A = this chain, B = another copy of it.
Amino acid sequence: MQLGLIGLGKMGGNMRDRLRSAGHEVVGYDPRPEVTDVDSLASLAAALTAPRVVWVMVPSGDATRGTVQALADVLEPGDLVIDGGNSRYTDDGPNAALLDAKGIGYLDCGVSGGIWGKDNGYGLMAGGSAEHVEMAMPIFDALRPEGPREEGFAHAGPVGAGHFSKMVHNGIEYGLMQAYAEGFELLSAVDLVTDVPAVLQAWSRGTVVRSWLLDLLVLALKDDASLSRLDDYVDDSGEGRWTIEEAITHAVPLPVISAALFARFASRQDSSPAMRAVAALRQQFGGHAVRAAAGPSGTPGEHAGPSSGTGSTQS
């Protein structure tokens, strides 16, 4: 079938390739001339036969909202817009309402798979009406991995349910990654385990912890057995944060997912104000030695506290 696809970055570009390989006719739009198929959204609309299906794959927030508004102007009643980006699910209701006022349908669809999805297929979670899901099903079938449909696609619920599910998926992802990472660190902390990459690779089959993320970690360790070429600075995207916010709204305890998010926050700090406060307290009550901050010349900080003497020091 025909599909309009807006946003041809890492994800959108790969999806265009996968859809074309499956025999679909994809008209892609991107502001970058070197990748786009048409020069405007109006041209994209003109290139498709009604009823049109248009997939939006642009950054969440303003970019997605702006694209939906622009589509409301160039599409026609009976057309369908799918937001496949990482939008917050609370954006879906307003987007759907805006389009509905023009008779245009709306689906939100969480998409997982990263850069590997082009070849492996993407896991998909859609929110919206059964009618709209049906209308887009050939696209979903081409994007999802081979195998039973239900193992790569779910109609999660009404509008918003797809992005909500994707948000939770990413929250889980944070927890999984941190669990493997902590285990890697503990294995690496002891001399006893002489071949950490081999141990992780041996978990690839048969074990309880086997997973695709583990496979990726094994891959990364092939290049750099102690990962010493990487900085320990870890970004986060919005979805981990939103997961915690939703948990708070619904009073759901998420100790593991929140710990994973906070570990990322901490990883990005050159100096933790909180830990400086703890150091200050220890110095105050116990005369515990603390380190002065490193000077501007980058020399390591020295212990700034009183010497500890030979006796017992305690709180």
Contact = CB atoms under 8 A, between A and B. Distances in A.
Contact of A30 (B84, B220, B274, B310): B310
Contacts of A155: 195, 198
Contacts of A160: 192
A274 B230 CA distance: 11
Contacts of A101: none
A177 interface: yes
A48 to B, nearest CB: 20
A311 B205 contact: no
A112 interface: yes
Interface residues of A, number: 172
B208 A312 contact: no
Nearest to A167: B186
Nearest to A235: B288
A195 B127 CA distance: 11
A98 interface: no
A272 B203 contact: no
A287 B207 contact: no
Interface string A156-174: 1110110011001111111
A155 B195 CA distance: 8
Interface string A279-315: 1111111111111111000100100101011111111
Interface in A166-197: 168-190, 192-195
B263 A255 contact: yes
Nearest to A188: B273
Nearest to A288: B235
Given A205-B151, A281-B177, A189 B265 contact: no
A244 interface: yes
Contacts of A158: 192, 194
A42 interface: no
Interface in A4-43: 7-13, 30-32
Nearest to A151: B204
B273 A206 contact: no
B205 A152 contact: yes
A211 to B, nearest CB: 3
Which 8 A/B pairs are nearest by Cβ-Cβ distance?
A: A9-B311, A175-B179, A211-B211, A123-B207, A154-B202, A231-B291, A112-B207, A181-B277
15 contacts: A10-B313, A111-B314, A112-B206, A123-B202, A127-B192, A156-B202, A157-B195, A169-B315, A173-B208, A181-B274, A186-B243, A208-B285, A231-B292, A231-B301, A237-B315
Given A123-B207, A221-B280, A235-B289, 19 more contacts: A7-B311, A7-B312, A9-B310, A13-B309, A59-B311, A84-B312, A111-B314, A120-B206, A121-B205, A165-B199, A168-B183, A181-B274, A210-B212, A227-B280, A228-B293, A231-B290, A234-B279, A255-B255, A258-B258
